[in-house]
Amino acid sequence: MRSQRSGHIVNISSVGGFYADPGISAYCGTKFAVEGLSEALAKEVAPLGIRVTIVESGYFRTELLSQDSARYASREIPEYDATAGAVRKGIAAMHGKQAGDPRKLALALVRIFNDSNPPLRFLAGADAVGIQEQKLEQTRAELERWRELSISLAYED
């Protein structure tokens, strides 16, 4: 791609790379890493004509949530029943009922890959859009709450 001065790198992340839930911290941690790596990589390769897109998908009707795919620690700790336990149960109950259609996602990705100005981040699915909107609102509110303290930290001469 460097020698041809063009190309498109696509990294598959998840809405879990922007918003974390209890009980899936290892999954979210790896997706957060994909996000940071991809964002930095996009800035490194842009002058070479190479684009990067991070696909932040919501829940799609695949086998990802099946018992054959989704693995959790066998030991459950009662103190986490209301947090991690609840999320795990919710995810298990969602298998086979995910709203996202993988075929439509594939067509959307082809459209993005053929676009002359593809996004750095592509939110895939209405659930991903809703989750990100909620997280952005929470992040903005937290920033505003702590703004004064944050900006007060400079040396005073």
Q: Do residues 33 and 94 touch, judged by C-beta distance below 8 A?
A: no
Catalytic residue check, 59: no
Catalytic residue among 14, 31, 57, 59: 31
Q: Do residues 126 and 60 touch, judged by C-beta distance below 8 A?
A: no
Catalytic residue among 13, 14, 38, 57: 13
Catalytic residue among 6, 14, 19, 27: 27
Catalytic residue check, 97: no
Q: Do residues 75 and 33 touch, judged by C-beta distance below 8 A?
A: no
* Residue at 137: amino acid letter: E
Catalytic residue check, 13: yes
Q: Do residues 89 and 35 touch, judged by C-beta distance below 8 A?
A: no
By annotation, the residues acting in catalysis are 13, 27, 31
